[in-house]
Chain A
Amino acid sequence: MSKVRVLVGTRKGAFILTSDGKREKWDVSGPHFAGWEIYHLKGSSVDPNRLYASQTSGWFGQVIQRSSDGGKTWETPGGEAVPQPGSMPAGASNKFVYDVSSSTGKPLTTHQWYDGTQHPWEFKRVWHLEPSLTDADTVYAGVEDAALFRSTDGAASWQEVSGLRGHGTGPHWQPGAGGMCLHTIVLDPSDPQRMFIAISAAGAFRTDDGGNTWKPINRGLKSQYIPDPNAEVGHCVHRIAMHRERPGVLYMQKHWDVMRSDNAGDLWQEVSGNLPTDFGFVIDVHAHEPETIYVVPIKSDSEHFPIDGKLRVYRSRSGGNEWEPLTRGLPQSDCYVNVLRDAMAVDSLDSCGIYFGTTGGQVYGSSDAGDTWAPIVRDLPAVLSVEVQTIR
């Protein structure tokens, strides 16, 4: 029988929620890495028992954890004790060093700081881990300050995909309120050379050659809060989602505006339609219906909570513009939580499951594509990320 595993990253540890295909009764394990911020954890589609987790701390920096048994046990790749005194270990799973070598790298330029001055690039943390679609040992990391790294040895060591940071627009990138982070990595299942990433606040970028070269894909985005609302870069993209059977169609939740592209990001059009507010963080696509998408509208960029204290997921069955509120089972009064950009995911069971986590520590699930909801857990630390594995 199918099983669902929900991977939850929080401000104070990771939790793993498991259920059978009915998704009625849940087993909760955790906290894993108690006390640490877990920005993201995600499983490999090649080997579902292979999980990667980004564990961070203001005191101790970045740690990368890896599991080979579905989260029962964890290891820091390359962190094994060295048998010979004096010799140093080969692995460096938390070593993220920007590539400035003359042969493969790019000069470490500066980027815009909050006050408009230029600021040096500094590694702070890993926001997002994206396992390869074809190899369980290959995984991408989106980091702050914004850059893309790749590991081909199961996260034991990392190399920057420096063509992105160094392609030329870097000095115009600037941090959003949460830092200058590369938070979204979308791999194209039909073309291993193509991937999409998004940076706050620089925008969306695409490579068609496996990461060697990149181009901004922000045409059609309009951001009234930047000097040139139609600029090539500088947009605060919050999240991009794709349906794996239609990889040329992308959906985006921007700071304000819900957007859609039918040509792999070459041009975007707004599909906010009748949403009560088009500010938000998450966006995702139904597992079997490429035109069915979900967002959680948030009141504004200065009031990060739902309108009128009513937590509502909005669903469009037409790829945008026409939206319906989904409220059954969600609190409809006095709810003032936020849903962060990596905190929504879908399973791929016949009746598609939708999941999201809140800054109030709730993880909600729907086993009927959003028609009805129920809390899986109510009292976790603030949720930073939610991922789902459908295990058959």
Chain B
Amino acid sequence: MIQVILPAHLRTLAHVDGEVAVDVEGPATLRSVLDALEARYPMLRGTIRDHVTHQRRPFLRFFVCQEDWSHEPPDAPLPDSIVRGKEPFMIIGAIAGG
């Protein structure tokens, strides 16, 4: 199971309290994790990436093992520690405002 950490507003939208866990069939990648997440929590569709283009929403970032994976290819394999659930896949909202 891959552990996913959502921003607080998306946890509320998905009716979950803490981390969520998703099963991914086949290679674990940005795309497959997000596909699994949206299948498990359909109310999140369109809130992380565009419905049609699947482009990441501009104010969200993806972090993997303390590294910014926001611009990595969607089909790049995720590190083994993510796949084995030892490290979480983090979706983070940009800090904005003033």
Contact = CB atoms under 8 A, between A and B. Distances in A.
A149 interface: no
A62 interface: yes
Given A59-B9, A59-B93, A76-B13, A95 B45 contact: yes
A63 B43 contact: yes
Contacts of A28: none
Interface string A79-105: 111100111110110110100000000
Interface in A90-130: 91-92, 94-95, 97
B27 interface: no
A94 B46 contact: yes
B43 A57 contact: no
B43 A79 contact: yes
A82 B45 contact: no
Contacts of A80: 42
Contacts of B52: 97
Contacts of B40: 81-82
Contacts of B48: 60
Contacts of A21: none
Given A76-B13, A92-B51, A94-B46, A59 B39 contact: no
Nearest to A75: B43
Interface of A: 35-36, 57-63, 76, 78-82, 85-89, 91-92, 94-95, 97
Contacts of A95: 45-46, 51
Contacts of A35: 9
Given A60-B48, A60-B60, 4 more contacts: A59-B57, A82-B40, A85-B25, A95-B51
Nearest to A82: B39
Interface of B: 7, 9-10, 13, 23, 25, 38-43, 45-48, 51-52, 57, 59-60, 93-94, 96
A94 B42 CA distance: 11
A111 to B, nearest CB: 20
A62 B46 contact: yes
Contacts of B46: 61-63, 92, 94-95
Contacts of B10: 60
A58 B58 CA distance: 9
A151 to B, nearest CB: 15
A92 B38 CA distance: 11
Contacts of A58: 59, 96
A79 B25 contact: no
Given A57-B9, A76-B43, A79-B43, A85 B57 contact: no
A105 B76 CA distance: 36
A106 to B, nearest CB: 17
Contacts of B39: 82, 85-89
A87 B40 CA distance: 9
Contacts of B7: 59-60
Contacts of A61: 46-47, 57
Nearest to A34: B12
A134 B13 CA distance: 30
A36 B45 contact: no
Contacts of A76: 13, 42-43
B48 to A, nearest CB: 8
A66 to B, nearest CB: 12
B45 A59 contact: no
A54 B24 CA distance: 32
11 contacts: A36-B9, A59-B9, A59-B96, A60-B10, A60-B48, A79-B42, A81-B42, A87-B39, A89-B39, A92-B45, A92-B46
B13 A85 contact: no
B45 A60 contact: no
Contacts of B25: 85-86
Contacts of B43: 63, 76, 79
B72 to A, nearest CB: 20
Given A57-B9, A59-B94, A89-B42, A94 B23 contact: no
A28 to B, nearest CB: 20
Nearest to A95: B51
